[in-house]
């Protein structure tokens, strides 16, 4: 049947048929017993829209159908969705919101299929929002804008409950915060402005209260244990339901309230502060102190000052025999040096040599496969793939072979030269004493900590020297 012979479908006539399909979809979403859409029903709904959009003007109802598509969402939201959400509170409201959001996405998916012809032609030519975007905008303007404040407050309350040790539904929070992200239509503004800012402010207040209590009640090691555990749990919280972009901001808030604000007071605790930990060689606690404060700008400066003062006192009290003081200085410094290496190792990733080796091995394998295929595959196969030899088969195969032989010769020559230049194991130059083999533990620009080891004779008291040499 041609377009001229096809019966014209009037707007109200066609819309009555579409309304029945939309009502059936809503009933299915609301749990009302209904038969699922079969292929015939789907094709009839799609064909109705197609016919109403391809009729000659003024019976081309594309614009009217586009408007009524949006009105269908608005009617459903105002009459069913919003009353259901407003009727509930706190966690129950969050569950209803998540359920309604899931239903809304199903409705958008089905209606956009019924009205798909609008998306393909009418919307594309008019540069209008697509059918899926229209459905999302309706939910954002009518539902999200109405409930976002209450949803944010309910989520923050649940987060604080979890911080206090209560069990919460993490999957529910993940789904709710997913709405904040998805409603931004590709951007993070809704999540950041409508939830994240308030969550970070609440986090700061929560840990501010905790820190003011812990700093008075706990020793320095116990305080650091609690701070480390809090940071660990906040990282886990991001993994469970917060967006990944919140991790750095969240940890900075916790570090500021627990560590930066009370660093000086924590380090100077009388019986458990940094001096006491250094004096008693509490390696685990000192390593934990480094891990916590190395991530804060200038966080290690107060610790370094205390360390220098303590070393100055140790040195001044060990004038008779400076070797023990230097030994203690090295041991204490190594605590922080080892801690620093451990803290950074996880961030270093692969070494350049490992990367070059991996790339080189892969390149070698690929090159070898290509060369052998180039050299031994029948010419007819290569010609069928559009590959030809230049300038001839002999030189095309011989040149890479000569290059490989040259590389092998260079490697052999280089290895031989290295072998010749290597000092024999029994050479005097290969021997070293305990001081020349000791690694440099202190920065070169720190004269106080960069003393060279004292000669062994300095360990002998002057009275013993007089007795041995002069018999006094």
Among 168-177, 246-255, 403-412, 461-470, the least confident range: 461-470
Among 28-37, 110-119, 246-255, 314-323, name the one with the lowest average pLDDT.
314-323
Query: How far apart, in whole angstroms, are the C-alpha atoms of residue 258 and residue 289?
Result: 13
Q: What's the pLDDT at 350?
A: 64
Q: Model pTM greater than 0.75?
A: no
**For residues 419 and 425, is the Cβ–Cβ distance under 8 A?**
no
Residue 58, preceding bond cis, omega within 30 degrees? yes
Please classify residue 49 by burial: count the beta carbons closer than 10 Å to its beta carbon, then call 0-12 exposed, 13-18 middle and 19+ buried: buried
* Model pLDDT for residues 302-343, shown as the tens digit of each residue: 888 888 877 776 555 544 444 444 444 455 555 554 444 444
**Mean pLDDT across the chain:** 81
Q: How much is the pLDDT for 19?
A: 93
pLDDT digits (tens, 9 = 90+) for 35-50: 888 889 989 999 999 9
Query: Which of 3.40.50.450, 3.30.1330.10, 1.10.1740.10, 1.20.1310.10 is the CATH number of 11-186?
Result: 1.20.1310.10
**Where along the chain do the CATH 1.20.1310.10 domains lie?**
11-186
């Amino acid at each position: 049947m041609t377009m001229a012979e096809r019966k014209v479908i009037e707007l109200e006539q066609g819309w009555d048929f579409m309304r029945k399909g939309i009502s059936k979809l809503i009933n299915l979403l609301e749990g009302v017993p209904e038969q699922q859409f079969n292929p015939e029903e789907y094709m009839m709904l799609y064909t109705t829209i197609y016919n109403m959009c391809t009729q000659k003007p003024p019976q081309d109802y594309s614009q009217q159908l586009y408007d009524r598509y949006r009105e269908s969402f608005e009617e459903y939201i105002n009459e069913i969705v919003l009353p259901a959400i407003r009727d509930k509170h706190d966690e129950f409201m969050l569950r209803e919101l998540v359920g309604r959001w899931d239903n809304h996405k199903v409705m958008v998916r089905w209606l956009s299929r019924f009205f798909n012809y609008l998306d393909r032609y009418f919307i594309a030519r008019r540069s209008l929002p697509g059918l899926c975007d229209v459905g999302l905008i309706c939910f954002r303007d009518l539902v999200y804008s109405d409930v976002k404040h209450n949803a944010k407050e309910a989520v923050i309350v649940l987060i604080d409950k979890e911080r206090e040790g209560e069990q919460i539904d993490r999957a529910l929070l993940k789904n709710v915060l997913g709405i904040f992200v998805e409603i931004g239509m590709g951007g993070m503004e809704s999540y950041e402005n409508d939830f994240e800012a308030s969550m970070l402010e609440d986090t700061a207040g929560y840990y501010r209260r905790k820190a003011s209590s812990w700093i008075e009640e706990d020793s320095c090691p116990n305080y650091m244990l609690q701070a480390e555990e809090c940071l660990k749990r906040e990282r886990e919280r991001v993994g469970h339901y917060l967006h990944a972009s919140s991790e750095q901001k969240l940890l900075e808030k916790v570090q500021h309230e627990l560590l930066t604000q009370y660093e000086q007071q924590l380090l100077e605790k009388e019986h458990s502060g940094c001096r006491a930990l250094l004096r008693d060689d509490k390696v685990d606690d000192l390593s934990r102190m480094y891990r916590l404060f190395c991530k804060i700008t200038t966080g290690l400066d107060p610790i370094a000052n205390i360390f220098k003062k303590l070393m100055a006192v140790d040195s001044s009290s060990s004038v008779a025999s400076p070797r023990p003081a230097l030994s203690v200085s090295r041991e204490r410094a190594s605590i922080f040096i080892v801690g620093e290496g451990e803290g950074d190792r996880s961030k270093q990733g692969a070494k350049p040599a490992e990367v070059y080796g991996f790339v080189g091995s892969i390149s070698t394998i690929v090159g070898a496969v290509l060369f052998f295929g180039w050299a031994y595959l029948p010419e007819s196969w290569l010609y069928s793939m559009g590959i030809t030899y230049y300038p001839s088969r002999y030189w095309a195969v011989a040149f890479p072979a000569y290059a490989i032989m040259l590389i092998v010769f260079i490697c052999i020559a280089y290895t031989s030269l290295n072998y010749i230049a290597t000092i024999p194991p029994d050479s005097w130059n290969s021997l070293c004493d305990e001081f020349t083999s000791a690694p440099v533990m202190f920065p070169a620009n720190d004269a106080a900590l960069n003393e060279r080891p004292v000669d062994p004779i300095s360990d002998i008291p002057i009275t013993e020297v007089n007795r041995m040499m002069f018999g006094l």
